[in-house]
Amino acid sequence: MRKLSVIAAGLLGLVAVGAEAAQPSDWQSKFSLDVKNKFVSENVRRGRREGQKGFKSKVNFGYEIFDSVKVGLGVDSSLTLRNDKGDIVAPYFDISYDASEMFTLEAGYLHNFHSKLDPRNGNTPLGVRRNTNEIFCGVNADVLLSPSLFIFYDFDRRETAIEGKVGYNFDLSQYAISGLGVDFGAKLGFDSSKKPYGKKHVAADGKKGYCYYGANADLTYAINSNAKAKIGVAYDGSSAKKTSWTGNLSGHKHKNFVWFNASIDCSF
């Protein structure tokens, strides 16, 4: 599954890099395809380090069923380069609604397939729940800094997360190479889980939540109208204690760290 996910996302990305979008027909214009392939030096999720270097890939097929309503089907995967670390493959469904020219509402469901984790390599205890069901909803605003706010709930881990993001794109085309730019971003969130391992009783404290935060800066280059290449640096941290469940998930590593990434984002 891990190899197929990477190969499929990579092939779709290469097609987008090498081709300019043709003029679509009326019905074809209702379809969209977005592919993201990213190499990361750290596998980070909600302020916690869940693995070492690997690949994050996302493929989304969208269709506009009404003028302001769009549905999407896709797969979001996080695959580390070491088999003993935690891989996640998550097929999902979402629906978005353009409430106005400024705000877009979004909601969806995803199913997380977690690989088996081994505590001897600094991971979660054996026997944890490997498959979980999660829903989410939120709003994106098309205003300065492009703010967004989303809420996530995992039924199996009884995990609730609230995350807000802002971002800004600085166009460098007028100062340097055409198509060059810099993306800045920041996030702030809160996460709490009552059954972080999918069990009723856990050794680590799963009742107390923690705050997490992060920032990133990416140098971007528009390859063509369909594809954009990025390379950047990111910082993540949290208020979680090493003795907490999230500290256990992170292998009791440092809770504040810097990591690097390189990616190609494509869309049709």
Asked if the model's pLDDT at residue 4 lies above 60, the reply is no
Coil, strand, or helix at residue 212? Answer: strand
Task: Give percent of the chain above pLDDT 90.
Answer: 46
Query: Do the beta carbons of residue 225 and residue 182 sit within 8 Å?
Result: no
Single pTM value for the model: 0.81
CA 94: distance to chain centroid?
Answer: 14
CA 150: distance to chain centroid?
Answer: 13
Query: Is pLDDT larger for residue 128 or for residue 87?
Result: 87
Give all strands (DSSP E) within 46-158, no chain letters. 48-64, 69-80, 88-98, 103-114, 131-141, 148-154
CA triple 11-234-221, angle to 5 deg: 50
pLDDT in tens, 164-204: 999 999 998 888 788 899 999 999 999 988 877 665 544 44
Closest CA to 221 of 183, 260, 247: 183
DSSP state of 244: B
pLDDT in tens, 228-260: 999 999 999 888 876 666 666 655 555 788 999
Asked if the model's pLDDT at residue 223 lies above 80, the reply is yes
Fold of 2-267: Porin (2.40.160)
